[in-house]
Amino acid sequence: MNEQPVFAQIMEAIEADIMTGAYHVDGLIISTNQIAKLYGVNPTTAVKAVAKLTDAGVLYKRRGIGMCVAPGAREQITARRRDEFMAHTLKTVLAEAKALGMSVGELVDAIRQAESE
């Protein structure tokens, strides 16, 4: 079960759509009412997710049209996620490997093997 608040899960889903190219720079995203319906949440939750993405500079409002993907959004998302990966995920993996008595070399070999599968 995902422990993140629902609005944060929606934010991640929209960011994932930007990363995969489902949404393009200056392109419209679905409306907050459509987001609420899609995820089965209160429209206020959808509005909060979109507002936070707007505050972060990932989205912008095109007056009378809707919310659009901001220029540089993909790069911004990539940089933030990369920083989070390095700060949290990688440290967790390294700590677990150390607890299991794995050397860095063994861990690198395991990563290479997993990549080739």
Q: Produce one character per residue of 66-75: b if its CB has 16 or more CB atoms within 10 Å, e if not.
A: ebbbbeebbe
- Dist. CA 65–CA 51, nearest whole Å: 16
Q: Under the phi-then-psi rule, with left for phi > 0, alpha for psi from -120 to 50, and beta for the rest, what region is 72?
A: left
Q: Label residue 101 by pLDDT band (50, 70, 90).
A: very high
- Dist. CA 2–CA 13, nearest whole Å: 13
- CATH for the stretch 6-71: 1.10.10.10
pLDDT tens for 44-82 read 999 999 999 999 999 999 999 999 999 999 999 999 999
- Look up the pTM and report it: 0.81
**Domain segments of the chain as ranges:** 6-71, 74-116
